Amino acid sequence: MEEIAAGPLLSLINTPADLKKLNKTQLQQVCNELRQFIIDCVSIHGGHFGASLGVVELTVALHYVLNTPDDQLVWDVGHQAYGHKILTGRRSVFHTNRKYGGISGFPKRSESEYDAFGVGHSSTSISAALGMAIASKYKGETSRQHVAVIGDGAMTAGLPFEALNHAGVSNSNVIIILNDNNMSIDPNVGALKEYLTDITTSHTYNKFRDDVWKLLGKLPAADFQKIGSKIEAGIKGMVSKSSNLFEALGLRYFGPVDGHNVLKLVETIDHLKDIPGPKLLHIKTVKGKGYDLAEKDQTLWHAPGTFDKITGKINKKIVTTPEPPKYQDVFGHTIIELAEKNPMIMGITPAMPSGCSLKYMMEQMPDRAFDVGIAEQHAVTVSAGLATQGMKVFCNIYSSFMQRGYDMVVHDVAIQKLPVIFCLDRAGLVGDDGPTHHGAYDIPFMRCIPNMIVSAPMNEAELRNLMYTAQLDENTLPFVIRYPRGQGVMPEWRTPMEKIEIGKGRVIREGQDIAILTIGHPGNFAVNACNTLEAEGLQPALYDMRFAKPLDEQLLHEIANRFSKIITVEDGTIVGGFGSAVLEFMAANNYTPEVKILGIPDRIVEHGKPEELHKECGYDADAIADAVREMMNVDKFSAVTV
């Protein structure tokens, strides 16, 4: 991987201290060079794209004005933070971004002192920055700044409003910058979008804003402080109702400000530093700013992969033969097939209609499929509400995002035995997004809940069958279907759907001496391992168990009576997962086979391609074959016992 060349000014900037050496008149050139560097690097190496382009000017302004890292700067989600990383000493290694062994695609505390808070999921910035501000206030660090940069997509979650509610009464020195680009990955939804638009277009409010900023420019900070409260009290009744939300929560609201005017941002942030207490600066930006195609199709260019930066042609793999689809697309098309036959089916997703492919149903059946914004808790409970009225709800949430809605799964779904169908996309090791996005924990945290069915398909046909089974009237319990990111294994995947008996596994391959028990997509790794072992004269039995809960106890009794050596394979954490469930069964029934569990180890797994991470974690085809040889005490290159 070759380092990308930087422009003449950017090449001189290795820390924010270098940036501060420049004259303000040079900042626009720095912005131009930084934006071009991001385009050059992402076009060759891939990664997130549009979000960081939209905050180039803000990034430069923040590091020019603030005294980072002493001043604490928190980036929400982290998609926005590429420019931040480049300006804080990581330009020379930025080409390793999201690569195995390279730097993270998100801010990460262990990576840099400038990354004040690790992120990946959305909506955490205000809470984190407020916590830092409260600590600084307690320690008497009165001059220290604490800044949260949150996209308006992240504001559709509940956590930011909880934080705003606290910030307004904390009297802590925190600046909240609302980056209003009307986007998360897909376009924003909900009343908040309309609210921010109302602020932006309010002529009365904008005239007030302009007058205030003119006044700020003429008065010394001390004088402004003396009369500021009187100004606020006198004119709140004159401005648009839209200005009241943040102010009613106790924050001083400033904006909207052009987020692509770097000099205005420098001036504004510099003024805000001198105003004590919680403030919110509302800036207007364009996601993908500076790259025309990214501005026009912001969803496509959120993370387009590699592309030709001149023509804008996104590099696609040349396909000469039919390929298996992505699991998410199998879900997206299958739910429509089911919904066409069952009028009670509805679909819910928290801000991932493209990622989980519910967008197809939203386009064809807009009254039956809903994007509720970045609000997993709401997604779960609104699904529960629908289920009380007899609806068959497919609630599609990324596995790692499901963690945010866990209380509602227990309190609102499981306790009430409501048959919500949770389709957990991105289960297992997701790859380049790394530890914040790995779907490692859903088997343990779902199977420990009473009244819960937990399943995973080995292939596309099994996914369709599980979806079909889950929506049948005879199923009266919550039903989890977890599946990985990426392609399946069946080019011809549109198979007739069949009912699967809940809690029943299946025999994939008869064998002897040792049994391999798998759940989900890693069963395909085990098939490949068995093919390799068969050529060496070994014949392990292979079972696709399908369900982590309820387990197929009849099949497990048969296996325990036939085999003294068992290997379990899963793409979830070893602690508390499917393998643990098998061991619990063995212990409860006084079986004593030798059992080896393969899966995600009890540590944080970093980013990399899924195949790289499967190998690292020891459950790819080679690792499964090695585990069989080890347990059978057989050398890899010989079928004879050593």
pLDDT at 239 over 80: no
Q: What is the pLDDT of residue 201?
A: 47
Q: What is the pLDDT of residue 235?
A: 47
> What is the fold of 10-202+240-302?
Rossmann fold (3.40.50)
Q: How confident is the model at residue 227 (pLDDT cuts 50, 70, 90)?
A: low
How does DSSP assign 26-57, residue by residue?
A: GHHHHHHHHHHHHHHHHHHH----HHHHHTHH
pLDDT in tens, 576-603: 999 999 999 999 999 999 999 999 999 9
Beta-bridge partner residues of 187: 183
pLDDT at 234 over 50: no
Compute the radius of gyration of the chain from its Cα atoms: 27
Answer yes or no: are the C-beta atoms of 288 and 82 closer than 8 Å.
Answer: no
Q: What is the pLDDT of residue 522?
A: 98
Answer yes or no: are the C-beta atoms of 569 and 525 closer than 8 Å.
Answer: yes
Region 56-71: what's the mean pLDDT? 97
pLDDT at 640 over 70: no
Q: What is the pLDDT of residue 220?
A: 54
Q: What is the pLDDT of residue 214?
A: 55
pLDDT at 611 over 60: yes
Vertex 82 angle, CA 80 and 88, to 5°: 120
Residues annotated as part of the active site: 287, 376, 404
DSSP letter at 357?
S
Cα–Cα distance, 260 to 62 (Å, whole number):
13
What are 82's two structure tokens? Answer: 């590429």
Residues 6+ apart with CB under 8 A from 254: 209, 212, 268, 272, 279, 280, 281, 282
Q: How confident is the model at residue 245 (pLDDT cuts 50, 70, 90)?
A: confident
Please, what is the average pLDDT of the chain? Answer: 90
Domain 327-482: what homologous superfamily?
Thiamin diphosphate (ThDP)-binding fold, Pyr/PP domains (3.40.50.970)
Q: Quick one: which H or E segment has residue 506?
A: strand 506-509
pTM: 0.88
Q: What is the pLDDT of residue 200?
A: 52
The domain ranges of the chain are: 10-202+240-302, 327-482, 506-632
Q: What is the pLDDT of residue 535?
A: 94
Answer yes or no: are the C-beta atoms of 580 and 551 closer than 8 Å.
Answer: no
Q: What is the pLDDT of residue 449?
A: 98
Answer yes or no: are the C-beta atoms of 422 and 478 closer than 8 Å.
Answer: yes
pLDDT in tens, 158-207: 999 999 999 999 989 999 999 998 765 556 556 666 666 565 545 444 45
The CATH number corresponding to 506-632 among 3.40.50.920, 3.40.50.2020, 3.60.20.10, 3.40.1440.60 equals 3.40.50.920
Q: Quick one: which H or E segment has residue 300?
A: none
205-208 — which CB contacts under 8 Å span 24+ positions?
205/239, 205/240, 205/242, 205/243, 206/256, 208/235, 208/238, 208/239
pLDDT in tens, 127-160: 999 999 999 999 999 889 999 999 867 888 899 9
The more confident residue out of 227 and 64 is 64
Q: What is the pLDDT of residue 49?
A: 86
Q: What is the pLDDT of residue 299?
A: 83
pLDDT at 126 over 80: yes
Give yes or no on whether 10-202+240-302 and 506-632 have one common fold.
Answer: yes
Q: What is the pLDDT of residue 185?
A: 54
pLDDT in tens, 287-331: 999 898 988 888 888 888 899 889 889 998 777 788 999 999 999
Region 215-240: what's the mean pLDDT? 49
pLDDT at 243 over 90: no
Q: How confident is the model at residue 223 (pLDDT cuts 50, 70, 90)?
A: low
